[in-house]
Structure 1
Amino acid sequence: MTQNAKETFRSRDTGSTLTAKVRNLSPTMTRSMQRVAEAVAADPAACAQLTVTALAQRTGTSEATVVRTARVLGYPGYRDLRLALAAFAAQQQAGAPAAVTADIAVDDPLADVVAKLAHEEQQTLADTAAGLDVSQLEAAVAALASARRIDVYGIGASALVGQDLVQKLLRIGLIAHAHSDPHLAVTNAVQLRQGDVALAITHSGNTLDVIEPLRTAFDRGATTVAITGRPDGAVAKYADHILTTAVSRESELRPAAMSSRTSQLLVVDCLFIGVAQRTYERAAPALSASYEALAHRHSPVAPTAR
C-alpha cells in the first residue's frame, strides 16, 4: 500500500473500523500483540491517555510490542495510534449511537432479526470498504479488463459470489467462467497462460479446492487474484493481488458463509464497475444488447405460422 493510500485509510478510521482491523489482522499477530490490539479496540478512551510504557504494563507486554502492534494496524508509530484513539474517544463523547448487537437469539422477534442483520451487514460493508487496498483493486481491475480469459474459483457460498461476478463480466463482453467443481477448476486452470486471469474466492484463505486451481494458474503464468478474509492464508502464496474482506462475527444462527458473502459481493461489484469503466466503449453496447435481449424474454412471443 502506498503512503498516500495509507494516509487516506487512516483518515477514514473510526472506532468501529479499528475494531474491524483488529479482528482482521489478529491472526497475523503474536499473542502479545493481540493483547495490545484488543486493549485499544476495547477501550480507546483509556488507552489514549497511556504512554507507550503504561500501555505495555497494562497489557503485560513490552514497549517494542506496542510499537509493532501500532504499525501492524497501519500507523507509523504509537504516537499516531494514540492520536487516533483520542479521536475515537471524542466521537464517543459526542454521542455516537450505540451499536446494535447482531447476536440473534432463537426467540428474537422477526423485527429484531431484521434490525440486527441490517446493522451487521452495514457494518461489514463499511469495514470492507475501509480496509480495501485501492492500489490492489486497481491492479486487479486492469488485469481483468485486458484478460483474454477469466476463470473464477469458489466453493459453497463463495461459488455463488463467483457466479455473480462471471455473469456480470459476460454481459459486458468478457470471456469468463465460474468453477465450483474442484476437478474441473484444475483441468481448466491448466489451459491458462500469460494474459489470462484466475480469481479465487475463499473467506478462510485456506480452502484447498480453491487454492489448488489458483496455484495451477499461477504456475502457468496467469495473473492471479484472491478475495479473502485472511490475507495471511495459504491462498496468498499464489495471488498476485489480494483483496481483503472484513471478518464478521460468527454466531450460531449467522454462520461465516452469510457474513463473508456480503463483503465478497461488495468487492465483486467494485471489480465489475472498475472493469466496465475501463472498457466502456465495448461494455456499454454489450450491456445494451443484453438488456434488449432480456426485455424480449418479458414480452409475449407471437405464435409462429406453420
Structure 2
Amino acid sequence: MSGTAKETFGSPAALAAKVRTLAPSMTRSMQRVAETVADDPAGSAALTVTGLAERTGTSEATVVRTARVLGYPGYRDLRLALAALAAEQAAGRAPAVTADITVDDPMNGVIAKLAQEEAQCLADTAAGLDTAALEAAAGALAAARRVDVYGIGASNLVAQDLTQKLLRIGLIAHAPADPHLAVTNAVQLRPGDVAIAITHSGRTADVIEPLRVAFEHGATTVAVTGRPDGDIVQYADHILATSSARESELRPAAMSSRTSQLLVVDCLFIGVAQRTYATAAPALSASYEALAHRHAPRDRR
C-alpha cells in the first residue's frame, strides 16, 4: 500500500495521535523515530532512511520497522506521506478536525465523509473477523449460566449494549462500569460462565484484571480488541479483532473503534439468538409486549 498523508494522517494532530496510540507496542528506539516524524513531518520527509536513522540515533532497520507499524510497507511510502502532509501545511489549507474533515467543511460534507469512514471501518472489521472464534464465542454464550462483559469508557457503552440484548432473550448478563465491581463479579464466575472484555488498545488494566480473574476461575473468556497482540489476549480463549476509523485529536481510537465493536457484539448476539431461538424468540416477544404501552401515543383529551 502506497499512502498519502491525507489518506492516513489527515493532519499533524492525527499523526501525533496515531503515534501516541501505537507507542506502547514499539521499542524505545522505534518510539524515537515515530516521535521525530510526528514532531517534524517536513524535516523528516527531507531525510533518507539513513538520514532519519542518524537523526534519531537508531538504525535503518528500526526506521523501516517503525514505518510498517505506522501502516506503510516501507520508509519510502511513509516519506511520501510526510511530504504530502508538509505540502498541505505549506499551502495553508484549513486544519483537519478529524480524518479528512476540516474546520471549513459544510455539514453535508461532514455527513458524507463520516458515513464513508464508518462504512470502511465496518468493512475492515468484517473482513478480519475470525469466523471460527466468533462461532465458538457465540456457542459459549448460548450455553452460559451467566455472562459478564467488561469495558471502560466508550467500551463500556458497547458492553452495556451487549448485555441489554442478552437480557432481552433471557440470559443473565452484567456489565459493571466500576472496575472494582467488575473484579468482584469475576471472582464469582466458574466453568460454564462467560466473560467478555472489550478494549481497543488491548492494554486497559481495568479490563484486563477482571478478565484475568474470570480466566483463572475457569470461565470461558473472550477479548474484543483492536490489538490482537495486546496484553489482554493472554487471558482470552477467543479473540475477536476490530478495526477503527482513522483517528485524530478530536476522535481518538478509543472513540472511533466503537463502530466496529458494535458490529462484533451484534454478530455475537445474532449467533446466540440463532442457537437459542426456541427460548430467545418468546423472551424477546415478551419483553416487547411488556414495554409496548410505554411507546403507545397518549390520549391528549
TM normalised by structure 1 equals 0.68
Alpha-carbon contact 1:102-1:119 (below 8 Å) kept: no
In 2, the alpha carbon distance for the partners of 1:240 and 1:39 equals 31
In 2, the alpha carbon distance for the partners of 1:240 and 1:148 equals 17
Amino acid at match of 2:118: E
Question: Equivalent residues in 2 for 1:234-253 (5 A)?
Answer: 234-253=231-250
Compared with structure 1, are the counterparts of its residues 294 and 181 closer, same or farther at alpha carbon in structure 2 (3 Å cutoff)?
same
Amino acid at match of 2:137: A
Alpha-carbon contact 1:172-1:284 (below 8 Å) kept: yes
CA deviation after TM superposition for structure 1 residue 179, in Å: 1.2
Question: Equivalent residues in 2 for 1:49-128 (5 A)?
Answer: 102-128=99-125
Amino acid at match of 1:121: E
CA deviation after TM superposition for structure 1 residue 157, in Å: 0.4
- 1:280 matches 2:294: no
In 1, the alpha carbon distance for the partners of 2:286 and 2:235 equals 37
Correspondent of 2:218 among 195, 199, 221: 221
In 2, the alpha carbon distance for the partners of 1:198 and 1:166 equals 11
Correspondent of 1:136 among 121, 133, 137: 133
List alignment gaps of at least 5 residues for structure 2: 9-17, 28-60, 78-97
Amino acid at match of 2:244: V
TM normalised by structure 2 equals 0.69
Amino acid at match of 2:150: Y
CA deviation after TM superposition for structure 1 residue 33, in Å: 5.3
Alpha-carbon contact 1:224-1:239 (below 8 Å) kept: yes
Correspondent of 1:38 among 47, 66, 72: 72
Correspondent of 1:256 among 232, 235, 253: 253
Alpha-carbon contact 2:152-2:177 (below 8 Å) kept: yes
In 2, the alpha carbon distance for the partners of 1:34 and 1:198 equals 34
| Partner of residue 266, structure 1 | 263
- 1:193 matches 2:187: no
Compared with structure 1, are the counterparts of its residues 15 and 290 closer, same or farther at alpha carbon in structure 2 (3 Å cutoff)?
farther
Compared with structure 1, are the counterparts of its residues 217 and 121 closer, same or farther at alpha carbon in structure 2 (3 Å cutoff)?
same
1:65-115 per-residue CA deviation (whole Å, 9 max, x = no partner) reads xxxxxxxxxxxxxxxxxxxxxxxxxxxxxxxxxxxx932222221111111
| Partner of residue 182, structure 1 | 179
In 2, the alpha carbon distance for the partners of 1:202 and 1:300 equals 40
In 2, the alpha carbon distance for the partners of 1:301 and 1:123 equals 42
Please report the RMSD computed on the Cα atoms of aligned residues, expressed in angstroms. 3.0
In 2, the alpha carbon distance for the partners of 1:244 and 1:144 equals 18
Number of aligned residue pairs: 228
**Secondary structure class of the residue paired with 2:73:** helix
CA deviation after TM superposition for structure 1 residue 274, in Å: 0.4
List alignment gaps of at least 5 residues for structure 1: 1-13, 44-100
Amino acid at match of 1:284: A
| Partner of residue 290, structure 1 | 287
CA deviation after TM superposition for structure 1 residue 28, in Å: 8.8
Alpha-carbon contact 2:203-2:230 (below 8 Å) kept: yes
Alpha-carbon contact 1:104-1:253 (below 8 Å) kept: no
| Partner of residue 147, structure 2 | 150
| Partner of residue 81, structure 1 | none
**Secondary structure class of the residue paired with 1:195:** coil
**Could you tell which deviates more after superposition, 121-130 or 30-39?**
30-39
Alpha-carbon contact 1:28-1:232 (below 8 Å) kept: no
Identity of aligned residues (%): 72
In 1, the alpha carbon distance for the partners of 2:111 and 2:297 equals 38
CA deviation after TM superposition for structure 1 residue 255, in Å: 2.2
In 1, the alpha carbon distance for the partners of 2:298 and 2:173 equals 30
| Partner of residue 89, structure 1 | none
CA deviation after TM superposition for structure 1 residue 224, in Å: 0.4
Alpha-carbon contact 2:2-2:72 (below 8 Å) kept: no
**Secondary structure class of the residue paired with 1:221:** coil
**Secondary structure class of the residue paired with 1:179:** coil
**Secondary structure class of the residue paired with 1:108:** coil
